[in-house]
Amino acid sequence: MKAVLQAKGLCKTYIVNKRQNNVLKNIDLTVSEGEMIAVMGPSGSGKSTLLYCVSGLDRATAGEVLFDGRETAGLSDKELARLRLDEMGFIFQQMYMMKNLSVLDNIILPAVKSGKHTESRRQTEARGRSLMHRLGIADIGEHDINEVSGGQLQRACICRSMINSPRMIFADEPTGALNRSSSDEVMNELLSLNRDGTTILCVTHDPKVAAKCSRVLYIVDGSIVGEKKLGHFEGTDSELRGRERDLNNWLLEQGW
């Protein structure tokens, strides 16, 4: 399979009170087209920093990142912002949305700013509504963001992440602020997107979320120390229980 994302010798260092803090240490990572990968590890291990560096939200101290074969280190801030807007989608634990816009307007905002699609405002709205229909939130388009549930709002964030037809979605604890029912609903939507071909890299602390991914990376003190291949999840309850048991046993071996 073609590699969508590659990181080679990736390092991230912060200087705090004149002391060097090595958050990422010589990370090598390849994400192939169509994969759904979970990144797990203890708090402070570098999970989110890894996601930010490979997606261009933060710049690495050393090493290189190739996105769809394109080296990102040499891009200007403006070029990186354009790459993120046009070719990447983002979902965060905190559902950052513009309070003065409706749910639908928040969803289509990246498309309006991008200009990637040559279309009218009406056509952009139609694509947004189509995504909302797919994720079961077609009836909340005109609502303010404080008028909907957390699960609905996170599904709206998924719609927003998809509006520019990204090559890859980066999700940082996408279910962390949700109850179990809403978490399952959001993960099912991400699985559906993945089955349709969208590549996903997901940081999570939840083994139930990671068990639905095709591959799990375990990071400790800024280094990837383990990898568990689970294969594509077909969706049955019995399969999920088996994957969870297998993953939990592996996580215990890693020191989880």
Render pLDDT for 117-158 as a digit per residue (tens, 0 to 9): 788 999 999 999 999 999 999 999 999 999 999 999 999 999
Q: What is the phi-psi region of residue 124: left when phi exceeds 0, alpha when psi lies from -120 to 50, beta otherwise?
A: alpha
Residue extents of the structural domains in the chain: 3-254
- pLDDT 10s digits, 176-227: 888 888 888 889 889 999 999 999 999 999 999 999 999 999 999 999 999 9
Distances (CA, A) of 112 to 76, 143, 163, 245: 22, 19, 10, 44
Residue type, 38: A
Q: How far apart are CA 194 and CA 192, in angstroms?
A: 5
CATH 3.40.50.360 fits 3-254, yes or no: no
